[in-house]
């Protein structure tokens, strides 16, 4: 299969599965981009951010039909993720350039997140907890922004399960997390481009053709996933996300060790 066609299909599938819970799907594209599409490290990070920039508007277009995207939760998330992603991009380029270290960090992030999400879903705990404070959400968003800048995921795959687990309704989280991911990804991609120009490092610029092909697939898949959200079982989607996160972490750990 042509690389660009494979990228389109991969972007469509992951976005359709993850958009209903406020995740762009970039976190699950990483192994595909590295192992199947041949995107090198650290260029895979800005390539994933490019995927977010192109793909997320499809889901947001659908969510905007149900309510405004400029919610108080969105503003709180952006206050943390925007500065965080710039810091994360700088860390990724200058302190964590090797693919092996990158995969270990990815595995260390994804494994506990996947297990936590599955356990939280299985026990059905946390749904009746009071909403977290603004300070907690901002601090979490800042940390996730840094991680997202390093990892190239925009942060939605971390923010969404954390907020839902702390009692924020999924209907509020999904559009806010995706909006935050989109704007954070734009800032992160711009930072990487600036660093590429400043350092002369072509290896930290995005793989444009692959990023765009994945993004166009994600644009279609994200719109479809957001459209189907009211008809899909939330419990099943959470288990799916948790299981994929665990499996991806296992693959990364095996490749890095």
Question: pLDDT for 153-168, tens place per residue?
Answer: 667 777 887 887 777 8
Q: How confident is the model at residue 127 (pLDDT cuts 50, 70, 90)?
A: low
DSSP label at 232? S
Its pTM stands at 0.80
Give the pLDDT of residue 120. Answer: 78
Span 221-228, average pLDDT: 93
Alpha carbon distance 106, 21 (integer Å): 20
Average pLDDT over residues 58-73: 87
pLDDT attached to residue 201: 64
- Structural domain including 212 reads 3-256
CA angle 156, 158, 161 (to 5 degrees): 100
Q: What is the pLDDT of residues 101-123, one digit of tens each?
A: 767 877 887 788 889 878 878 87
| Confidence category of residue 215, pLDDT binned at 50, 70, 90 | very high
Confidence class of residue 23 from pLDDT cuts 50, 70 and 90? confident
For residue 85, name the pLDDT band (cuts at 50, 70, 90). confident
- What is the number of structural domains in the chain? 1
Q: What is the pLDDT of residue 15?
A: 93
CB-based contact 140:100 (threshold 8 Å): no
Cα 36 from chain centroid (whole Å): 19
């Amino acid at each position: 299969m042509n690389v660009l066609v494979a990228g389109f299909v991969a972007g469509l599938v992951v976005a359709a599965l993850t958009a209903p819970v406020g995740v762009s799907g970039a976190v699950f594209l990483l192994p595909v981009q590295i192992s199947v599409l041949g995107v090198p490290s650290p260029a895979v990070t800005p390539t994933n951010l490019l995927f977010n920039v192109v793909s997320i508007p499809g889901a947001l277009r659908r969510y905007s039909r149900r309510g405004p995207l400029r919610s108080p939760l969105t503003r709180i998330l952006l206050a943390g993720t925007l500065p965080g992603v710039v810091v994360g991009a700088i860390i990724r380029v200058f302190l964590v350039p090797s693919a092996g270290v990158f995969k270990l960090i990815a595995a260390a992030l994804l494994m506990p997140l996947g297990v936590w999400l599955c356990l939280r879903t299985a026990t059905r705990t946390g749904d009746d907890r009071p909403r977290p404070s603004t300070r907690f959400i901002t601090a979490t968003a800042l940390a996730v922004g840094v991680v997202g800048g390093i990892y190239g995921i925009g942060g939605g795959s971390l923010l969404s399960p954390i907020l839902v687990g702390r009692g924020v309704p999924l209907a509020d989280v999904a559009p806010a997390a995706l909006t935050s991911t989109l704007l954070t990804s734009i800032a992160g991609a711009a930072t990487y481009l600036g660093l590429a120009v400043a350092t002369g490092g072509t290896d930290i610029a995005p793989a444009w053709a692959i990023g765009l092909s994945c993004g166009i697939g994600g644009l279609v898949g994200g719109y479809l996933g957001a459209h189907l959200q009211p008809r899909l079982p939330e419990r099943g989607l959470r288990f799916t996300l948790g299981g994929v996160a665990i499996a991806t972490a296992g693959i990364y750990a095996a490749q890095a060790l």
